[in-house]
Amino acid sequence: MKVGAVIITMGNRPDELRALLDSVAKQDGDPVEVVVVGNGSPVPEVPAGVRTVELPENLGIPGGRNVGIEAFGPGGQDVDILLFLDDDGLLARTDTAELCRQAFAADDDLGIISFRIADPDTGETQRRHVPRLRASDPMRSSRVTTFLGGANAVRTRVLAQVGGLPDAFFYAHEETDLAWRALDAGWMIDYRSDMVLNHPTTAPSRHAVYHRMVARNRVWLARRNLPALLVPVYLGVWMLLTLLRRPSRPALKAWFGGFREGWTTPCGPRRPMRWRTVWRLTRLGRPPVI
């Protein structure tokens, strides 16, 4: 199976980007074709053979990745598998691309693989990087209901069938939106602990827009994808969890501003998942109200 990789960058991590590209070039098997998207910035110097696209403005994470997908033809059709990798990450092993080929070839229903993210110094994996509720054992691989945006592999047939990432989200929850659409179309998602992306331990709240966009996109996610009966349940649970975490007053103000924005602005086309998909998510351990 032919493998490509999409990496978006803002041009501010040239050394980390070069190290990531070197790790991709060292993958076993046929070479991985790479496209680096400069998201509103020039692309730093890259090795020969790496294609680049420079965007005049920052389109956000999903918008930048969608541009990278289209660089491989409509819906990424020129390759069978696309890796999406953060520009400050590093593939820890040389067999990751080959493991992806084997996994997709062995399971026709497998649509997306979520890699394990590990700190390069400690080897530890944060709980939030294990895409399931039972996250205490990051070394256990399993079926899951979502995936990690900067450390994954997607079968391009999934993108051809359900479309790409939601551009308007800009940042936060775009992976779950794609995951729910893929699951509703009959695809499965695996978390694989043996496919590792080394990435420095960081807090998502480091982004200035974090609290606003997390709340806004949570509302959009529900409005776009959930049956009407589950929308208030899902959002009510997340509001309660947010309050229990006792964020600072400025963070809470930004969160409620984003929550209001999610209700008052267009969220894109509404395609509620089928109830059998709700049951499927429940059987996988994460009903779409949590």
| Same-domain pairing of 240 and 132 | no
Domain that holds residue 186: 3-202
Residue 61 and residue 166 in one domain = yes
Q: Are residues 253 and 121 in the same domain?
A: no
Task: Give the residue from 158, 184, 202 where a domain finishes.
Answer: 202
30 and 78, same domain (yes or no): yes
Instruction: Characterize the bridge pairing of strands 33-38 and 3-9.
Output: parallel
Tell me: do 196 and 217 sit in the same domain. no
Q: Quick check: is 289 in a domain? A: no
Rounded distance between C-alpha atoms, residue 17 and residue 134, angstroms = 32
For residue range 51-74, list pLDDT tens digits in order.
999 999 999 999 999 999 999 999
pLDDT at 121: 93
For 83-119, write each residue's pLDDT tens digit: 999 999 999 999 999 999 999 999 999 999 999 999 9
Domain boundary among 202, 234, 266: 202
Q: CB of 46 within 8 A of CB of 21?
A: yes
Give the type of residue at 245.
R
- 156 lies in the same domain as 129: yes
Give me the CATH number covering residue 169.
3.90.550.10
Q: Is-contact 81 4, C-beta < 8 A?
A: yes
Co-location of 191 and 230 in the same domain: no
Same domain, yes or no: 71 and 131 = yes
Q: Looking at the structure, tell me whether residues 107 and 238 fall in a common domain.
A: no
Are residues 115 and 40 part of one domain? Answer: yes
| Identity of the amino acid at 73 | G
Helix spans in the chain (H): 14-25, 60-70, 96-106, 156-162, 174-184, 210-225, 231-244, 249-264, 275-283
Q: Decide which of 202, 235, 254 is a domain's last residue.
A: 202
Would residue 19 count as lying in a domain? yes
Is 173 part of any domain? Answer: yes
Nearest CA among 160, 148, 18, 17 for reference residue 79: 160
In the chain, pLDDT over 90 holds for what percent of residues? 95
What distance in Å separates the CA atoms of residue 21 and residue 140, rounded to the nearest whole number?
Answer: 28
Structure tokens at 43: 């692309």
How many folded domains does the chain comprise? Answer: 2
Question: Quick one: 19 and 154 in the same domain?
Answer: yes
Q: What rounded mean pLDDT belongs to the chain?
A: 96
Q: Are residues 236 and 268 in the same domain?
A: yes
Q: Are 58 and 10 in contact (CB under 8 A)?
A: yes
- What is the separation, in whole angstroms, between the first and last Cα of the chain? 36
Is 57 part of a structural domain of the chain? yes
pTM: predicted TM-score of the whole model, two decimal places: 0.96
Residue 188 in any domain: the answer is: yes
pLDDT digits (tens, 9 = 90+) for 166-217: 999 999 999 999 999 999 999 999 999 999 999 998 777 555 689 999 999 9
> Is residue 36 situated within a structural domain?
yes
The answer to whether position 290 is within a domain reads no
CA distance 216 to 168: 11
